[in-house]
Amino acid sequence: MLKVTFDRPWPLHGTAATRRIEQEAAASLPAHALMERAGLAVARLALAIAPHAHRVWVACGPGNNGGDGLEAAVHLHRWGKAVTVTLAGSPDKLPPDAANAWRKCREAGVPVADALPSAWDLGIDALLGLGSSRPLEDALAAAAGRMSASASPVLAIDLPSGLNADTGNGQSVRAAHTVSLLTLKPGLFTGAGRDAAGELWFDDLGVQAAEAPTAQLAGPAPVRVRAHASHKGLNGDVAVIGGAPGMAGAAVLAATSALCGGAGRVFLAPLDTGFGAAVPGWPELMVRAWDALPLESISVACGCGGGDAVAAMLPAVLSRAKWLVLDADALNAIAADASLQETLRRRGRPTVLTPHPLEAARLLGTSTAQVQGDRLRAAQELGERSKAVVVLKGSGTVIAAPGTTPSINPTGNGRLATGGTGDVLAGLVAAALPVSSDALQAAAHAVYRHGKAADDWPAGEPLTAGALARRLHLD
C-alpha cells in the first residue's frame, strides 16, 4: 500500500486496461485471492486512517466492489470493531467472488442491517467501483447520499462510488480517502475526481501491471542546474504578443511570468499602440513592435489579451515562430478560421495550445460539456487535429500530443480560479520551450510548476496572477 504523493510520476490505467490486468492476474491465482487481498488492504487502511473509529458502516453494492467491502468487514469485525454491513442489492445475485465474501460475512456473524445506520465513526464506500455505468439511483443513491453527508470520514474502495474511472465524471460519494486497487485510474485525477476522492492510496494487490499506461500522472521537472559559465543567450528569448487596448495586463502577466520563470530575455509586443515604451516596474521587459521581433529564433506566447486584433498577426506568427504558445484570443481566432487551422497543422515546429474547456470546445467544434465529459479524449483529439501539444486547463489539467501517452497534472487548486493565471501559465510554457528538447515535457513541467506554486501558497495571503508570476522563481 502506497500513499499517492505528487513528487513523482505515476502510471494510470483506465477501465479496459485494469480489467485486462485483473483477468490475467485472476487466472494465475487461487479463486477469490484478489478480492481477499483487496479486503485485507482496505481493512488495514481503515485502521490506519481512523484508529479510534469503533462503529464502522460498510455500504456494499451489487458487484465485486461490494465484495471487497464484505471481505474488509469480516476482518474489521474480527478485530473487534462494531461493524454494520448494508447491501444495496440481492445476495443471490452477487457475482462469484462477492458471493463467496457474503458467505464468509454471514459465517463470521458480521451484523447485516436492512436499514441504513443512523450513526457511525467510519464509513466504507463499497457501493460501486469500475462497474459504475450510470447515475446512482434508489438504494445506491440513498446509501451514497447518507454516507457523503455525514461528518464521519469515508474511505472509498477503488473509486468514490459513481465516479467514472476513465473520465472523472459522475455524481459520486465524497470520500476523505480512496484506495485505488490494482491500478491508479485517470478519473481520480481529473474532472470531479480530485474533489471526490480525498487522500489517495494505491495497492497493486501484489500484481505487476504489464499493460501500457492509459495516461501518466505528471511529476515535477528534474532540477535544472544552470552552469556557472552561463549567459542569458543560453536561457531562451521569449516574446509575448497580446494586450489589445484595455487588456494590456494579460500580456504583462505573461511576460513577467516568462521572466520570473527563467527566460534569458523577454520582449513584450503590445497590440495597444498607446502602450508606451516600457512596462512600469519591470525595466527588464523590452517593449517592441511585433513585426520587429526575430520570430524565427525565439519563443512566442501569442493571445494573452490580444482581442480580435491578434488574428491579423497569426499567419506570420504561425509560420515564423520557432517555438509557439497559443492562448486565449489566438485560439478563438484559429477556431473561427479554417485557413489558420491548416497553417497550424502544417507548422512543423514545437507548438503548445493552452485552451480552457470552452476554447477547446470551439476548436473542436463541440460543446464545453462534451469536452468536460472526457477531458483526456478531448485533449488527445485536439492534439491530433492541430498537430500540437495541448494543455487542456481545469481541475486535473490534461497535457496531450499526437502519438504519445497523455499526462494529467496533479498540482494546483481552486485558488488558481482567478483572472490572469492562464496568462501566467502561457508565459511560463513559452519560457520552458527553448530549454527543452521535448515540447510535451516542457509543457507538463510548466503546468506542474504553476500548480505547485499555488499549492505552496502561504495561508492568509491572496493569490493574484501577478503575485503568482513573481513566485515562479527558479530553485
Where is the binding site, in residues? 64-68, 125, 129-135, 158, 161, 250, 303, 356, 393-397, 422-423
Task: Name the binder of 136 from K ion, ligand NAX, none, CB < 5-8 A by kind.
Answer: ligand NAX
Helix axis angle, 338-345 relative to 328-335, nearest 10°? 110
Is residue 34 a contact point for ligand NAX (CB under 6 A)? Answer: yes
Distance CA 11, CA 34 (A): 20
Q: Which helix (H) or strand (E) holds 445?
A: helix 439-455
Q: How many residues does the chain have?
A: 475
Distance CA 253, CA 259 (A): 10
Looking up cell 509560420 gives 319
How many CB atoms are located within 10 Å of the residue 370 CB?
Answer: 14
**Sole binder of K ion in the list 105, 157, 205, 371 (CB under 5 A):** 157
Q: Which stretch in 58-66, 194-202, 289-297, 310-318 sits in contact with ligand NAX by CB under 6 A?
A: 58-66
3-state secondary structure of 77: helix
| Shortest Å, Cβ 98 to ligand NAX | 7
Is residue 220 a contact point for ligand NAX (CB under 6 A)? Answer: no
Residues 6+ apart with CB under 8 A from 51: none
Residues 6+ apart with CB under 8 A from 117: 55, 57, 84, 86
Q: Which lies closer to ligand NAX via its Cβ, residue 111 or residue 135?
A: 135
Q: Which helix (H) or strand (E) holds 143?
A: helix 138-149
**Sole binder of ligand NAX in the list 13, 60, 68, 259 (CB under 6 A):** 68
| Shortest Å, Cβ 96 to ligand NAX | 8
Question: Which ranges constitute the DSSP H helices of 321-438?
Answer: 328-335, 338-345, 357-364, 368-373, 375-386, 421-432
Q: Which stretch in 153-161, 228-236, 305-313, 314-322 sits in contact with K ion by CB under 5 A?
A: 153-161
Is residue 157 a contact point for ligand NAX (CB under 6 A)? Answer: yes
Strands 215-217 and 407-408, sheet pairing: parallel
> In sequence order, what are the beta bridge partners of 300?
239, 324
| Shortest Å, Cβ 405 to K ion | 26
User: What does the block give as the cell for 273?
Assistant: 499602440
CA atoms within 13 A on the CB side of 367: 3
Question: Which ranges constitute the DSSP H helices of 228-327?
Answer: 248-260, 310-320
Q: Are 241 and 310 spatial neighbours (Cβ–Cβ below 8 Å)?
A: yes
Q: Which lies closer to K ion via its Cβ, residue 97 or residue 125?
A: 125
| Shortest Å, Cβ 121 to ligand NAX | 23
Strands 199-203 and 177-181, sheet pairing: parallel
Is residue 87 a contact point for K ion (CB under 5 A)? Answer: no
Q: Which lies closer to K ion via its Cβ, residue 105 or residue 157?
A: 157
**Sole binder of ligand NAX in the list 23, 28, 118, 133 (CB under 6 A):** 133
Annotation: binding site for AMP: 393-397, 422
Task: Name the binder of 132 from K ion, ligand NAX, none, CB < 5-8 A by kind.
Answer: ligand NAX
Is residue 97 a contact point for ligand NAX (CB under 6 A)? Answer: yes
DSSP 401-426: -TTS--EE-----GGG-STTHHHHHH
Is residue 129 a contact point for ligand NAX (CB under 6 A)? Answer: yes
Task: Name the binder of 454 from K ion, ligand NAX, none, CB < 5-8 A by kind.
Answer: none
Is residue 64 a contact point for ligand NAX (CB under 6 A)? Answer: yes
Q: Is the dihedral of CA 113, 115, 117, 122 positive or negative?
A: positive
| Shortest Å, Cβ 343 to ligand NAX | 46
User: What does the block give as the cell for 160?
Assistant: 468514490
**Sole binder of K ion in the list 125, 327, 329, 359 (CB under 5 A):** 125
Q: Which stretch in 33-41, 113-121, 285-293, 456-464 sits in contact with ligand NAX by CB under 6 A?
A: 33-41
Distance CA 332, CA 126 (A): 44
Annotation: binding site for (6S)-NADPHX: 64-68, 129-135, 158, 250, 303, 356, 423
User: What does the block give as the cell for 329?
Assistant: 484570443
| Shortest Å, Cβ 165 to ligand NAX | 8
User: What does the block give as the cell for 14?
Assistant: 483506465
Is residue 101 a contact point for ligand NAX (CB under 6 A)? Answer: no
Is residue 134 a contact point for ligand NAX (CB under 6 A)? Answer: yes
Q: Which helix (H) or strand (E) holds 240?
A: strand 237-242
Question: What does residue 389 show for φ and ψ, rounded to 5 degrees?
Answer: -75, 135
**Sole binder of K ion in the list 161, 256, 409, 411 (CB under 5 A):** 161
Is residue 442 a contact point for K ion (CB under 5 A)? Answer: no
**Sole binder of ligand NAX in the list 181, 209, 317, 382 (CB under 6 A):** 181
Task: Name the binder of 329 from ligand NAX, K ion, none, CB < 5-8 A by kind.
Answer: none
Is residue 140 a contact point for ligand NAX (CB under 6 A)? Answer: yes
Is residue 197 a contact point for K ion (CB under 5 A)? Answer: no
Q: Which stretch in 51-59, 135-143, 346-354, 365-373 sits in contact with ligand NAX by CB under 6 A?
A: 135-143
- The binding site for K ion (CB under 5 A) comprises 125, 156-157, 161
- The binding site for ligand NAX (CB under 6 A) comprises 22, 26, 34-35, 38, 61-66, 68, 95, 97, 128-137, 140, 157-158, 181-182
